[in-house]
Chain A
Amino acid sequence: MAHLDKAIEAPSQWEPGLVTRVPYWVFQREDVYAREQERIYQGDSWNYLCLEAEIPTPGDFVATKIGDQPVIITRGNDGEIYGFENRCAHRGALLALTDRGHVKDFTCVYHAWTYSLEGDLTGVAFEDGINGKGGMPDTFCKAKHSPRKMRVTSLFGLVFGSFSNDVPAIEEYLGDEVLGRVERVLGGRKPVVIGRFTQMLPNNWKLYFENVKDSYHASILHLFFTTFEINRLSQKGGIIVSPDGGNHVSFSAIDADAARDDNYASQKLRSESDLQLADPSLLDGFDDFGDGGTLQILSVFPGFVLQQIQNSLAVRQILPRGTEQTELNWTYLGFDTDTPEQRKVRLKQANLIGPAGFVSMEDGCVGGFVQRGIAGAPELASVMEMGGDGTGSSESRVTEASIRGFWKAYRREMAL
């Protein structure tokens, strides 16, 4: 399609392949946003849609988006998962008008065209007219008119969709190491949704995704972490970046030897107060996965996060809403095997995350600080040389390698 190749007339050059500098115009321009819709969301990407646990029985559906594109995910009559555009093939109206539900089929409210759970057009109101007058021409073939269908795939209960026939299977897309880290959390377990929240962020979606992949900022910006010694860069841990750059994991585990060190004092970071929690039970948890891991932030290009912060588990769906707004959908999780005590721990530790989260409220704001900060400087660029210029995995989290990995994947998919 020729329009895909419309040149982006950038206000400054972006040296091909460079990932240590990102020009600010990529967070500002409508033409960049339009190309993202075409090349990323409608392109060779896997996009998180919902949990299998949200559509357990035939007729269950979730309505969400891939980029700007509204989509429906259903459990079909055969028990399989289907995905198709949330748009009537007749005049383009939305088919589903709620976020989730249970239906026999989808009937467009406008002219009552009806679609099966699998996304096939099955009925057209007054198809044969009335009393032999009006109606659709004999040449009209319902089988040729339906919303575009997606490839859908389930990975340990996470449902992803793609409009691409070329994107490799999700396992290959993730890479072995990231795949193993999804399995660590969800393999053999049945997640239970314990809450859903939507956070509107005043910034470009890429600024939030950068933040998720930024293992350097965590213990600096988020003082709750460091103040109460939940996480320090000196904990045992590391980052994994998938070979293609787009997916990452940042992880840590308790390292008793490093719990008291003087790295922070010497860097004059603001985390040396002796604050105590009035109710320290907030941090009383249990070893969910039997490996002592206290934190695992995992991201999948272009907009999925699987998060374990202590016993607080959630998936996050990042959806662009124009160049300067992002919708962040949080789904808080437990497991069906949770004891009442374990569930209580998750409810308490949910205070760590979300728009009011002790360790994540800053993430909702900092993207806006950047968006506002760069307003007058589209031709300038951010500097990301922490840990060098590579995009590989490392034992140190004092690196921006996973952000550079994102830009490697982004530039490839965008041909930018």
Chain B
Amino acid sequence: MSVPVLNHDRLFRLVGTFHAAYARCIDDEGGTAWPEFFDEECLYLVTTEDNHRAGMSAGLIYAEGRGMLKDRITALKEANIYEQHGYRHLLGQPSIGVVKGDVIPVETSFLVARIMRTGETSIFATGRYLDQFVMGGDRLLLRERRVVCDSKQIDTLLALPL
């Protein structure tokens, strides 16, 4: 599907709306619908700036296709054991690149606070989303999201997606 002619302001608002819904899904709605923000054929990768710069292909999370995203949510809900915690995503203003074919490249900074069951709130991760959006009907979908964390260090575990 080709990208309809959208002026920058309209695209900016669409991406902003997408980011807000994505963050709400993970932070406030349990993440069940998280895979639906992605195209059926997609890549979701969580990595670090060091790895990204060095061209390292392995990720902390590597999902190809919506099925693998669903499996991550299923595993978190049904199989994996971890202490209860939540995130609060704060997303920066999206920087929208040049549309190529049906792909809209967007880069957005993020800051994620983690709130533990025991009460500690800490900055868990900062970084940027390197996104490739496509239009799915009248809404945006992620063809690719590379979550590039600024720090090489992850505290304790990365369970919920970023």
Q: Which residues of A contact B (CB under 8 A)?
A: 193-202, 221, 223-224, 227, 273, 275, 277-279, 282, 332, 343, 346-348, 350-351, 354-356, 358, 361-362, 364-365, 368-369
B75 touches A224 (CB 8 A): yes
B157 touches A194 (CB 8 A): no
Q: Give A200 to B153 CA distance when docked, in angstroms.
A: 7
Q: In the assembled complex, how far is the CB of residue B125 from the closest CB belonging to chain A, in whole angstroms?
A: 11
**Chain A CB within 10 Å, residue with most, of B59, B74, B80:** B80
Main secondary structure of the interface of A (DSSP, over half): mixed
Main secondary structure of the interface of B (DSSP, over half): mixed
Given A194-B56, A346-B58, A365-B83, A278-B154 contact (CB < 8 Å): no
Q: In the assembled complex, how far is the CB of residue B40 from the closest CB belonging to chain A, in whole angstroms?
A: 11
Q: Give A348 to B156 CA distance when docked, in angstroms.
A: 22
B157 touches A365 (CB 8 A): yes
Contacts of B152 in A (CB 8 A): 196-198
With contacts A197-B154, A346-B58, A356-B159 known, what are 5 further pairs, Cβ within 8 A? A194-B58, A197-B48, A278-B67, A365-B82, A369-B83
**Chain A CB within 10 Å, residue with most, of B47, B60, B74, B83:** B60
Q: Give A77 to B49 CA distance when docked, in angstroms.
A: 31
| Contact residues of B between 49 and 107, Cβ < 8 Å to A | 50-51, 56-68, 70-72, 74-75, 78-83
Given A355-B158, A356-B159, A362-B81, A348-B64 contact (CB < 8 Å): yes
Cβ 8 A contact of A223, one of B46, B56, B60, B81:
B81
23 contacts between A and B (CB under 8 A): A194-B57, A195-B51, A196-B50, A196-B152, A197-B60, A197-B152, A199-B153, A200-B154, A200-B156, A227-B79, A275-B79, A277-B74, A278-B66, A279-B70, A350-B58, A351-B61, A351-B68, A355-B158, A358-B79, A361-B80, A361-B82, A362-B82, A364-B156
CB nearest neighbor in B for A273: B78
* A-B contacts at CB below 8 angstroms, number: 117
Contacts of B71 in A (CB 8 A): 277-279, 282
A223 touches B57 (CB 8 A): no
Q: In the assembled complex, how far is the CB of residue B145 from the closest CB belonging to chain A, in whole angstroms?
A: 15
Q: Give A70 to B46 CA distance when docked, in angstroms.
A: 29
Tell me, yes or no, whether B155 is within 8 Å of chain A by CB: yes
In order of increasing CB-CB distance, the 6 nearest A-B pairs are A195-B58, A279-B67, A278-B67, A356-B158, A194-B58, A355-B154
Given A278-B67, A279-B71, A355-B60 contact (CB < 8 Å): yes
CB nearest neighbor in B for A358: B75
CB nearest neighbor in B for A203: B156
| Contact residues of B between 137 and 160, Cβ < 8 Å to A | 152-159
B57 touches A195 (CB 8 A): yes
**Chain A CB within 10 Å, residue with most, of B56, B57, B82, B159:** B57
Q: In the assembled complex, how far is the CB of residue B72 from the closest CB belonging to chain A, in whole angstroms?
A: 8
A347 touches B154 (CB 8 A): no
Contacts of B159 in A (CB 8 A): 356, 361
Cβ 8 A contact of B58, one of A273, A282, A332:
A332
